[in-house]
Structure 1
């Protein structure tokens, strides 16, 4: 009799464990966030993948009445910071910035990554697209993109700068060269700032860079902005043509960024966070701030962001393999 009582008590307690767990999850979803939200940025301060998410964080913190705290963990081509997100507690209070490099390119470049994008991370929301620009030093004898292509074909091995190996500007230039059959020599820098400084100084003649970085120098006539890499012209730069409409139909490359959570974050909680972010992205002030930097908000569901990341991994993984892109430049 005593044994059966013990068994009943044990079974009753065991049955309550999943009920209590589900109740805890439901409570977390209903009360998110109940403390500051930490967002890990695996990039240096000042880059678009740092600045633009901070704009979103400012709006989000006002909506949820909790601080949104950003933590830069730069270095290691984004691997340490992304791994920290993957290892965090999946309760919605630690998120991370993900971009083309960390979510789509690194898996193709580094077979021994300490995280697996599909297994260890949960896409939450895509935040922005940001245009790239083709810029040249004023000494380059080209005032249009077709003229630049002609000049590059006549000067094989021309050096071009990028913000670093396997960054979006590097990938855009590599794709551009392959599509047009141009031989270029890649000169990687440790960030967009020093690369642009050498372009302005005439150390390198050509560069693909974000509009955010290129526009101030172009406005000061220190560099010449020939084209943008978006599918359509930018509203802010209506006189600047696209690569697609001038020399390579269908060419489109944008930098992008979004937020990811650790795997195991409950789907309803992911949807709660996504909803708060989508509402934040609809803020008119945010759209203006993005527009000033050549970026556009990209609201959408978590599922749409997950599908986008998978497609980008296929696209850029193929380029990495066929173009022989390496982290050493």
Structure 2
């Protein structure tokens, strides 16, 4: 009876859907079942089926599974920017990166990230690999080489990729704020309506370092050669800061943005790489943090659609 009662249908036992626990009370020689309410129809049906001396009903709170709250490290649908993702790159092992900004095109949800995190026929999963988020649909990066021109374009557009969110899931025009395990977020109001300029200040949101502000643009339209594989990023924005943590591997693909007085984000670009900070990975006057990102204007030109806005 203990095992049977929770598996019965409403037709077999009216009110059974409200039951959540059943156990044997050895002292009273009976089975105790627990429910969020003692509906008269359920009490009568239990007595008639099992006998009033062999079953007892107790009213208790409902039972919830211990699902973790969605956060920067374990994002779930609807997906936010600034969260950890796992991408599969053709011919190589998987990569940990960060989702950039939610993207809208033709009524569907997408997400933009860094091109070196993906490949044109790759895929993106959530961190536990329990959820196939969707396929990569555009990518302007050749792994081991660097930036490439997209079809129909006469210029390089940095380091970008666009992946589609499967139809059984969605995204939201929000990005995570706070630290690397934060579950709080801010709405994306719009994208920055001009190209990055020297002196612009902004924040970054990476899955390894969380939200870091105090960055300042140093130069634009730069060409950057990365030390790890010699790949070259073209048409990049260069920024630096002299205090606080630098970005690290894994933050690639994350959003760069400014924040207005009400806490809303304005998309500024997508993290590609960085360095500096010395042995403690913290910027200083003589060992500043360096950051390289793709201007959001290039993403708007490279891909159909635009940044999703809240």
TM-score (norm 1): 0.24
Normalized per residue, which structure has more strand? Answer: 2
Task: Select the structure with the greater relative contact order (CA < 8 A; seq sep ≥ 6).
Answer: 1
TM-score (norm 2): 0.25
Normalized per residue, which structure has more helix? Answer: 1
